[in-house]
Amino acid sequence: MQTEIRVYTDGSASVRNKKGGAGTYIIDGEIEVFVQKGFSNTTIGRCEIYAFLIALKTIQDKSRRVIIYSDSKYVVGTIEEKWVESWERDKWFQRCNADLWKQVLEEYRKFPKGNVRLKHLRGHQKDLTDSHILGNNIADTLADYKQFKEYEEDRKL
């Protein structure tokens, strides 16, 4: 029997210079995947969503069970509380980041219902002997916007 894929996601952004990053750390048994991307003209909320979207797109075997850990209550709540589905029913009326949430739903629906679960983790914890805290810290490091030499244009604010 295959084990569950564990994923840690994080986003970062600077309010001052509008640069941000998304980091995704995926563990599939003995395989580790590290994905990071920088964005300009963005926000922290968008980078948190990007990290989640990157995770969904990176996992090739959509039949697998996946648990995604995020320190973003925004991302976790939007999926787990099914807010995104009500936003879709309301035709995205006055919803921030609707462009990204539409992409998330498209990718999320490629997995069998119930195969992707999200869990919230408190960010910036230091006990690296805890595997979830370590995973969150790795995603946080991957997302650090200051490390990128190139940034993909996100949107005009």
Domain residues of the chain, as ranges? 5-151
pLDDT (0 to 100) of residue 46: 97
Report pLDDT digits (tens) over 10-54.
999 999 999 999 999 999 999 999 999 999 999 999 999 999 999
pLDDT (tens digit, 9 = 90+) per residue, 117-144?
999 998 878 888 889 999 999 999 999 9
Per the CB < 8 A criterion, the answer to whether 131 and 139 are in contact is: no
Nearest-angstrom CA–CA distance, 48 and 139: 11
Question: Going by C-beta distance under 8 Å and a sequence separation of 6 or more, which residues neighbour residue 87?
Answer: 93, 95, 98, 101
Residue 151 pLDDT greater than 70, yes or no: yes
- The pLDDT of residue 133: 92
pLDDT tens string 95-111? 999 999 999 999 999 99
Q: Answer yes or no: is pLDDT of 155 > 80.
A: no
**What pLDDT shows up at residue 2?**
73
DSSP string, 19-76: EEEEEEEEEETTEEEEEEEEEES--HHHHHHHHHHHHHHH---TTS-EEEEES-HHHH
What letter would DSSP give residue 115? S
Which two three-digit tokens encode residue 21? 């990053």
pLDDT in tens, 60-84: 999 999 999 999 999 999 999 999 9
pTM for the predicted model, two decimal places: 0.94
Chain-centre distance of CA 78, in angstroms?
A: 12
Question: Which fold would CATH assign to domain 5-151?
Answer: Nucleotidyltransferase; domain 5 (3.30.420)
What's the confidence (pLDDT) of residue 128?
80
The pLDDT, as a whole number, for residue 1 is 61
The conformation of residue 3, written as its DSSP 8-state character, comes to P
